[in-house]
A and B are shown apart, each in its own frame.
Chain A
Amino acid sequence: MPRRVHVQTTINGEEIDFLCEPRQSLLEVLRDVLGLTGTKEGCNDGNCGACTVIFDGRIVTACLVLAVEAEGKQITTVEGIAVGRELHPIQQCFLEGAALQCGVCTPGFIVAAKSLLDQDNNPSEDKIRLWLANNLCRCTGYDKIVRSVQAAAERMQEAR
């Protein structure tokens, strides 16, 4: 077995230590080492977006990041989007807007949408579609996803 590397990082606001093999991706470590299985794998080569996480403020596909790169970084996964028992408006709007069918793409969309709405609280439909273009959904045809992101943007503005 290859020697393991010790990595210190922050995930969903908590400082975390883990050991990993240098060849392991962040996705593998999140899921298999840390038990954060909310982040999904659909392709393992950066083309489906199911593994989207926020990595020092930017969205990345965790399957294309090596786990050792997490050293000293701030990472947010789908498990860190709700605040305590309170769903994030995006999560609430996805529920109300029926934006998920099978739900396997949902964590990636919610994380990507959160990073969008954190930077632009009133995105146009085109901007939403462009921002989410690396997230594949095979069930919904995207209509209800885009509408739910729009609804969440409105709700977040009202709350402000």
Chain B
Amino acid sequence: MSEQSYEPNMVLSTKEFDVVGKRPLRHDGVDKVTGRAIYGADVSMAGLMHGAVLRSPHAHARIKSIDTSKAEAHPEVRAVVTSTDFVDPGDKTVDLGEGLTRLAYIRNNVLARDKVLYRGHAVAAVAAASLHDALEALELIEVEYDLLPPVLTAPDAMKEDAPLLHENLRMMEFGRPTDKVSNVSDHFRHEKGDIEQGFAEADLIVEREFDTSTVHQGYIEPHNTTALWNNDDRIHIWTSTQGPFTIRDTTAAILDKPVSQVRVTPTEIGGGFGGKIPVYIDPVAALLSKKSGHPVKIVMSRAEVLEGTGPTPGSHLKIKMGVKSDGTMMAAQAWLAYEAGAYPGAMVVPGGMCVFAAYDIPNVTIDGYDVVVNKPSTAAYRAPGATNAAFATESVVNEIAEKLGIDPLDLRLKNASKEGTRRADGPKFPRIGCVEVIEAMKNHPHYSAPLDGPNRGRGVAIGFWFNAGLPSACNIAVNPDGTITLVEGSPDIGGTRTSVAMQAAEVLGLPAEKVSPSVVDTDSVGFTAVTGGSRVTFSTGLAAIEAARDVRDQMIRRAARIWGVEEDGVDFEKGVFHLKNGTENRMTFSELAEQIATTGDPIVGRAGVNPPGVGGSFSGNIADVEVDPETGKVTILRFTAFQDAGKAIHPSYVEGQMQGGSVQGIGWALNEEYFMNAEGKMMNSSLLDYRMPTSLDLPMIDTVIIEVANPGHPFGARGVGEANIVPPPAALANAINNAVDVAMNRLPMNPVAVMEAIWGKNGATD
């Protein structure tokens, strides 16, 4: 195991701050280390009933009939629901912040209507006095199915004679509808330059195909919800979600209720990574509550989480790149087919935007296909789509470096995207930190450290994610003792109460401890988009900055009133108001706060933002491995993660994101997969068999924060939640290649895959 070797940060962001960049204790920390924090499954109230969901045992079937009469007769059952209890949405579409979706798709995923499209697809639900009673009652529901052949991979689903999941799904091609009924919901293309010409000018062309398995976000807390449909027809939902407003708006749409009648209280949330954005059980619990007259709680089992939620797409990718003999990239072509699961929306669009984003290549073509298959409807997972794409691209880049005898980081530096580089989908990059990340990798002692011993290898890769802006709201009230309360709408999954509070504290010259941040329900704060897209510290942080500035300006006016001067006669610096005219008059923030009630109205700052200046984040890994040539087991000896944070607001939690994302990437690379049989049954739907990395599988994950300030944020912050998951599979593939000289073309690179590659190389087939 490696020694602790945190490197000093490479600080390109040179502004000095009082609070930002420090490491205060998180505000919700004590509740979380003492067990007092209330997560969704901990919610309890008088008269609570327990809900359970019946799920399809088949991957593809038509529902002939559902008979719930026996379940309804169970003495402890209070309500049973099926999809016929929902209002038929017809062709209505909704925009829930994730692009336009047919409401029918969401509703049919929540409870299947005519067809089940994956094993685990919800079919009916019951509410009973206890969970055991509810589970008993599920067994009394009789469903008759007409089995249909399942189709489980993108290449199979794209065949002309493939079984169709949706008889009415017409392919979109190049942004326009076509008449073609197909499992391909969308085909898009980005083109730049002249691809033929580019390859013609190349001295070396490398072309490879890759497959990546379906993997799950793997949050430790299962989905849960508690719903109360009150006698006044108002619906209150308590749930663990990344997006309380998304839950509110979707639930209102599915139940055909005004948004104002649905209120969502986000509880503490035990991980999400993109998987707790979609709506699954909330409208079901609401209906059960309506029918039973009781509040109803549903908590998913782990098998339900794996078979009925998330996961992120498996994919089939082809990458072709052409370079000059000096390493100059001349042309690149990508063909990406991602499995959306049961309903369209496979994250192939962002995959296409990221696949060559790290490189300035004059001639590029990218084709992307969004393909429905009989697996659970996929959800975002940390830089969705980018990890699959980078595994392929970065593997090809490493092969090019090897073939040309160029250092792989030099090859990347030579072609790295910079400010002004035109992306394949058109726009030019603003200030980005791609070059700085690669340089930091090159200069890091890990890169030059000797790596002795047989079957050991070192690998590198880089990754990119755009990050999101999107709306956030924030209110700040000033208390008489000079503390402030800050109200926001972004569920805190990784310390963001503190990173948001720190930004308000910085503006007002207060220590972070004087800010009391709360995440509140959807009735109590303005619209705030999901905790996702690495956006909370950036966008909600910006809302906090703006709200704090509003407070500051009101306080300046108040000081001016007290001193009897014009407001431009008052200055504010480091938490102290003073008269500009050079006299002794000064008041600290708390001295002024104390006088608020006797000198005018209460002071409340507010802000709503939808910031444009999103800064994308680059990341990189150096990974050392040892491969056991007898078993194919890969052991990670040393791992260093690099990422551009713009400005690390709270460096501990930036490092935490980097370490957590890296380890998710490592799991994706080495172990994790949906192991499906031919009938589309997941054979490993437990945490024993869907094996995520444990502490014993890993060394320390060293981190290097690079700070290339984002001009779009007052303190320079970039989102850091996602780009870190992108490089590990490619870096590990490169390391394995380096160790035992095999090219790895599919994920996971588990012992079987590694042994097959070794046997393939040795010409043996046993």
A residues at B contact (CB < 8 Å)? 1, 21, 23-24, 31-32, 35-45, 47-48, 50, 77-79, 81-82, 87, 91, 94-98, 100-107, 110, 125-126, 128-130, 132-147
Taking CB atoms and an 8 Å cut-off, the chain B residues in 16-73 that contact chain A are 23, 25-26, 28-30, 32-39, 41-42, 44
Q: Which of B274-331 contact A (CB under 8 A)?
A: 299, 301-302
Known: A31-B42, A50-B220, A144-B655. A133 touches B695 (CB 8 A): yes
Residue of B nearest to A79 (CB): B35
B660 adjacent to A141 (CB under 8 Å): yes
Residues of chain B within 8 A (CB-CB) of A135 are 694-695
In the complex, what distance in Å separates the CA atom of A98 from the CA atom of B495?
A: 9
Contacts A42-B222, A95-B26; is A87 near B695 (CB within 8 Å)? no
- B binding-site residues for A, Cβ under 8 Å: 1, 4, 23, 25-26, 28-30, 32-39, 41-42, 44, 76, 129, 132, 217-222, 268-273, 299, 301-302, 493-495, 652-653, 655-657, 659-664, 686-688, 692-696, 698, 700-701
CA distance A132 to B30 in the complex (A): 21
A47 CA to B662 CA, complexed, in Å: 22
Interface pairs A-B: 6 shortest CB-CB: A38-B35, A104-B270, A141-B663, A103-B32, A141-B659, A98-B652
Residue of A nearest to B36 (CB): A38
A137 and chain B: residue at smallest CB distance? B220
> Which of B273, B655, B688 is the one whose CB lies under 8 Å from A45?
B688
Chain A residues closer than 8 Å to B696, beta-carbon distance: 129-130, 132-133
Find out whether the CB atom of A41 lies under 8 angstroms from the CB atom of B695.
no
* Residue contacts A-B, CB under 8 angstroms, 28 given: A23-B132, A37-B38, A39-B35, A40-B41, A44-B302, A45-B302, A45-B687, A50-B220, A78-B35, A79-B36, A87-B33, A91-B30, A91-B33, A95-B30, A98-B656, A100-B33, A101-B660, A102-B268, A104-B221, A104-B268, A132-B696, A133-B695, A135-B694, A141-B659, A141-B693, A143-B655, A143-B659, A144-B652
Q: Given the complex of chains A and B, what is the CA–CA distance between A130 and B698 in angstroms?
A: 11
Q: Are A143 and B701 in contact (CB under 8 A)?
A: yes
Residues from chain B with a CB closer than 8 A to the CB of A125 are: 1, 700
Question: Chain A: which residue is nearest B42 at the CB level?
Answer: A37
The answer, among B28, B220, B493, B687, for a CB contact under 8 Å with A105, is B220
* B271, A139: Cβ atoms closer than 8 Å: yes
Chain A residues lying within 8 Å of B44, measured Cβ to Cβ, are 32, 35, 37
- Given known contacts A95-B33, A138-B220, is B41 in contact with A41 (CB within 8 Å)? yes
Residue from A40, A104, A144, A145 having most chain B Cβ neighbours under 10 A: A104
> How far is it, in angstroms, between the C-alpha of A140 and the C-alpha of B39 when the chains are bound?
18
Chain A residue at minimum C-beta to C-beta distance from B270: A104
Q: Give the contacting residue for A44; candidates B30, B219, B301; CB below 8 A.
A: B301
Kindly name the residue among A21, A39, A103, A147 whose own CB sees the greatest number of chain B CB atoms within 10 A: A103
Contact of A140 (CB < 8 Å), options: B29, B41, B659, B688: B659
By the criterion CB–CB under 8 Å, are B664 and A98 in contact? no
Q: Which of A37, A44, A101, A105 is packed against the most chain B CB atoms within 10 Å?
A: A101
In the complex, how many angstroms separate the beta carbon of A85 from the nearest chain B beta carbon?
10
CB-CB under 8 A from A37, the residues of chain B are 35, 38-39, 41-42, 44
Q: Which residue of B lies closest to A90 (CB)?
A: B33
Q: Which residues of A are found within 8 Å of B34, using beta-carbon distances?
A: 38, 78-79, 81-82, 87, 91
Q: How far is the CA of A21 from the CA of B37 in the complex (A)?
A: 27
Question: Contacts A104-B220, A106-B32, A129-B695: A143 and B700 contacting too (C-beta < 8 A)?
Answer: yes
**Given A135-B695, A138-B660: A104 and B33 within 8 A (CB)?**
no
Q: A21-B132, A138-B271 are in contact. List 20 more A-B contacts (CB 8 A).
A: A37-B38, A38-B34, A42-B687, A44-B302, A82-B34, A91-B33, A94-B29, A95-B25, A95-B30, A97-B652, A98-B656, A129-B695, A138-B217, A138-B218, A140-B656, A141-B698, A142-B659, A142-B663, A143-B698, A144-B656
Residues of A within 8 A of B687 (CB): 42-43, 45, 47-48, 136
Across the two chains, which residue of chain A brings its CB closest to B37? A103
A36 to B653, alpha carbons, bound, how many Å? Answer: 29
- Contact at B32–A100, with CB atoms within 8 Å? yes
Across the interface, name the chain A residue whose C-beta is closest to B43: A37
Chain B residue numbers with a CB within 8 Å of A128 are: 695
The answer on a CB contact under 8 Å between B220 and A48 is: yes
The answer to whether A101 touches B494 (Cβ under 8 A) is: yes
Residues of B within 8 A of A103 (CB): 28, 32-33, 37, 268, 270
Q: Name the residue among A1, A36, A39, A132 with the largest chain B CB count within 10 angstroms.
A: A1
Residue of A nearest to B688 (CB): A47
Residues of chain B lying within 8 A (CB to CB) of residue A139:
271, 493-494, 656, 660
A54 to chain B, nearest CB (A): 14
Residue of A nearest to B271 (CB): A102
Q: Which residues of A have CB within 8 Å of B698? A: 129, 141-143
Whole-angstrom CA separation of A104 from B356 in the bound complex: 36
Residues in B neighbouring A32, C-beta threshold 8 A: 44
- Tell me, rounded to whole Å, the shortest Cβ–Cβ distance linking B497 to chain A: 12
Rounded to whole Å, the gap between the CB of A157 and the closest CB of chain B is 18
Chain A's closest residue to B691 (CB) is A47
Shortest A81–chain B CB gap in Å is: 7
B495 and A133 within 8 A (CB): no
Does B29 contact A95, Cβ atoms closer than 8 Å? yes
Query: A42 to B25, alpha carbons, bound, how many Å?
Result: 26
Q: Which of B37, B652, B659, B695 has the most CB of A within 10 A?
A: B695
B618 to chain A, nearest CB (A): 19
Chain B positions within 8 Å of A79 at CB level: 34-36
Q: Decide: A101 near B656, CB < 8 A? Known: A1-B76, A91-B34, A139-B271.
A: yes
Q: B33 near A94 (CB under 8 angstroms)?
A: yes
Q: In the complex, what distance in Å separates the CA atom of A94 from the CA atom of B34? A: 11
Residues of A contacting B271 in the complex (Cβ-Cβ under 8 angstroms): 101-102, 104, 138-139
Given contacts A133-B694, A133-B696, A143-B659, contact A102 B35 (CB under 8 A): no
Q: Note all chain B residues with C-beta closer than 8 A to A82.
A: 34
Instruction: Tell me how far the C-beta of B659 lies from the nearest C-beta in chain A, rounded to whole angstroms.
Output: 4
A139 to B, closest residue via Cβ: B660
User: What residues on B are CB-neighbors of A110 within 8 Å?
Assistant: 33
Q: In the complex, what distance in Å separates the CA atom of A71 from the CA atom of B655?
A: 44
Contacts of A104 in B (CB 8 A): 39, 219-221, 268-271
Q: Is A142 touching B220 in the complex (CB atoms < 8 A)?
A: no
CB-CB under 8 A from A136, the residues of chain B are: 220, 687, 692, 694
Contact B269 A102 (CB under 8 A): yes
In the bound complex, what is the Cα–Cα distance between A143 and B299 (angstroms)?
30
